[in-house]
Amino acid sequence: MININKSLKVQDLKPKLEKFWKLSGEKILAIQAEYDENDGSPVFTRNGKYTTRGWTEWTQGFQYGSAILQYDATGEVDFLEIGRKKTLEKMAPHISHIGVHDHGFNNVSTYGNLLRLMREGKISQNDWEQNFYELALKISGAVQASRWTDIKNEGGFIHSFNGAHSLFVDTIRSCRALIISHQLGHVFQGEGDAKISLLERAIKHIEATANFSVFYGEGRDIYDVWGRTAHESVFNVKDGNFRCPNSQQGYTGFSTWTRGLAWAMCGFAEQLECLEILDGMELEAVGGRSYVKNFMLKAAKATCDFYIENTPICGIPYWDTGAPNLHKMGDYLSQKANPFNDNEPVDSSAAAIAAQGLLRLGKYLNENGDTEDGNRYWQTGLTVMNSLLEEPYLSTDKNHQGLLLHTIYHQPNGWDFVPEGSKIPYGESCMWGDYHFREAALYLQKHLNNEPYYTFFNCLPK
């Protein structure tokens, strides 16, 4: 389990953060200069160079969102101009993309961040520009909400690109798109002009994720352990019944793919924060504020606890807690993760996502009177970031386009680059890992500088 550094403070990470942002800017400019966008969105590196491969174009928002975050952190206007220009040129198809569950990734990371910077006064106020970002976010949330599957007992979920039967744990981060659209006043309409609440769909999806993607040790199956997650939950779309857990990128539906776990940790924590700004009367339609808070908090704590218990002492996990060759590594949880082993790869991108979830949950609990758990999660988040902000995870090689090393995309499909002489993939980066590494670093930097607290909903009017 993670060896939590209880004395670590955000201030202790300041020199590492300064080095991080210098390297981050170099990587963004290298991709800008060297990557051929005609090949599609950059997804992950092979031998240090970004390439494209995947099911959908779900990483383009991370590419341009990274430039926007770099500007936010450093004030270097060139990065703002890259983010603005490329959002305008490239991101429009993502707004109307009806075939994916990734709107919260692509569009909140670009249009949402740009609108947030304007609200926070880091971009000059311009009504036309503001209206452009708002319209993009309104439509994105509505398009995302249209991928809807009803389930038994009046629930439902945003189905994945696998089809109407498929609930992905990742998609909790796309609920941001629905909530932003709703809070901006958008009216989503269906057949016969029927008005459909974007807020209700977001909350119901989060509830379905809590009920089916997260396990609580309550006997659902013999693999039911407090806080473990399933990547995919499969439903019978004819009668709305849950059928089974499954996994697309993990080892099995009965083990825990750690990046999926991390999406849940981060997603539930940020939605708990957002719950504070939502109208109580509107929440009555989905059970009321207390009911919603309780299931979100239970899921957030459970997943964070599982991460702490099932991750090596440094805070960097292997790609799946049930990966088939972990047993060959002895007591691997009592040692630092080893990206260069002969058995199973680590996934540092899961750590970057998880760190943000741990920090947000820790702050939330501390502010709501639960200082024991709050401090534990907060210090765990700092411990994870402390590990990521140094080698072998921080990429210092100027010839490597990635920022965060030792990430994994799709181990079962064998998509990740295996260096010559190795039995496993290591040493590579991915767009979501680099972006979420930057997001977690920005979160800490804003804390250091006493800037406005960083949330996705800072793009909304006060």
pLDDT at site 45: 97
Structural contact between residues 352 and 388, judged by C-beta atoms closer than 8 angstroms: yes
The phi and psi torsions of 411 (rounded to 5 degrees) equal: -60, -45
Q: Give the range of the structural domain holding residue 279, as residue numbers without chain letter.
A: 147-310
Residue after which a domain boundary falls, among 94, 111, 146: 146
- Is 362 within the bounds of a domain? no
Contact at 8 Å (CB) between 231 and 180? no
Say whether both 179 and 288 belong to one domain: yes
State both tokens at 114.
């740009």
Q: Measure the CA–CA gap between 80 and 67, rounded to whole angstroms.
A: 6
End-to-end CA distance of the chain: 41
State the pLDDT at residue 217.
97
C-alpha radius of gyration, the chain, whole number:
20
- CA proximity to 301, closest of 248, 380, 198: 380
- Asked if residue 1 belongs to a domain, the reply is no
Domain count across the chain: 2
Neighbours of 221 (CB within 10 A): 10
pTM given for the model: 0.98
Q: In angstroms, how far apart are the furthest CA atoms of the chain?
A: 62
Helix (H, G, I), strand (E, B) or coil at 166: strand
Which of 455, 12, 7, 35 has its CA nearest to residue 269?
455
- Counting other chains too, the contacts that 132-135 makes at CB distance below 8 Å and 24 or more residues apart are 133/459, 134/184
User: From residue 33, how far is each of 50, 82, 112, 404 by CA, in Å?
Assistant: 12, 12, 25, 19
Residue 156 domain flag:
yes
Q: What is the pLDDT of residue 153?
A: 87
Based on the domain organization, do 132 and 206 belong to the same domain? Answer: no
Domain match, 134 and 235 both: no
Same-domain pairing of 151 and 138: no
Q: Do 288 and 182 sit in the same domain of this protein? A: yes
b/e per residue 100-132 (b: at least 16 CB within 10 A): bbbbbbbbbbbbbbbbbbbbeebbeeeeebbeb
| Cα distance between residue 152 and residue 360, in whole Å | 32
Quick one: angle between helices 371-388 and 289-309, nearest 10?
Answer: 50
Flag whether 8 is in a domain: no
Report d(CA 163, CA 168) in Å as an integer: 11
Tokens of 397: 């090689």
Structural domain includes residue 98 = yes
CA 263/CA 258 separation, integer angstroms = 9
- The answer on 151 and 245 residing in a single domain is yes
- CATH code assigned at 201: 1.50.10.10
Asked if residue 183 lies in contact with residue 176, where contact means CB atoms within 8 angstroms, the answer is no
CB 282 within 8 A of CB 183: no
CB 307 within 8 A of CB 261: yes
DSSP readout, 331-378?
SGGGS---TT-SS--B-HHHHHHHHHHHHHHHHHHHHTT-HHHHHHHH
Residue with tokens 């309409």: 189
Q: Is 222 exposed, middle or buried (0-12, 13-18, 19+ CB in 10 A)?
A: exposed
Same domain, 151 and 274: yes
Is 85 in the same domain as 155? no
DSSP code string of 17-46: HHHHHHHHHHHHHHHHHH--GGG----EEE
- What is the rounded distance in angstroms from the CA atom of residue 205 to the CA atom of residue 291? 15
Encode pLDDT of 286-310 as tens digits.
999 999 999 999 999 999 999 999 9
d(CA 138, CA 177): 8
pLDDT at 108: 98
- Please indicate, yes or no, whether residues 94 and 195 belong to a single structural domain of this protein: no
- Span 319-378, pLDDT tens digits: 999 999 999 999 999 999 999 999 999 999 999 999 999 999 999 999 999 999 999 999
Q: Which amino acid, residue 322?
A: G
Residue where a domain stops, chosen among 288, 310, 332: 310
Q: Quick one: 252 and 113 in the same domain?
A: no
The candidate with the shortest Cα–Cα distance to 371, out of 379, 380, 362, is: 362
Find the angle CA(459)-CA(127)-CA(199) to the nearest 5 degrees: 35
CB atoms within 10 A of CB 153: 8
Question: For the range 338-341, what are the long-range contacts, defined as Cβ-Cβ under 8 Å and sequence gap of 24 or more?
Answer: 339/392, 339/405, 339/406, 339/426, 339/427, 340/422, 340/426, 341/424
**Kind plus residue range of the DSSP H or E element containing 235:** strand 232-235
Shared-domain flag, residues 265 and 239: yes
Show which of 292, 310, 328 is a domain's final residue.
Answer: 310
Q: What is the pLDDT along the chain (462 residues), one digit of tens a residue?
A: 999 999 999 999 999 999 999 999 999 999 999 999 988 899 999 999 999 987 788 999 999 999 999 999 999 999 999 999 999 999 999 999 999 999 999 999 999 999 999 999 999 999 999 999 999 999 999 999 999 999 998 899 999 999 999 999 999 999 999 999 999 999 999 999 999 999 999 999 999 999 999 999 999 999 999 999 999 999 999 999 999 999 999 999 999 999 999 999 999 999 999 999 999 999 999 999 999 999 999 999 999 999 999 999 999 999 999 999 999 999 999 999 999 999 999 999 999 999 999 999 999 999 999 999 999 999 999 999 999 999 999 999 999 999 999 999 999 999 999 999 999 999 999 999 999 999 999 999 999 999 999 999 999 998
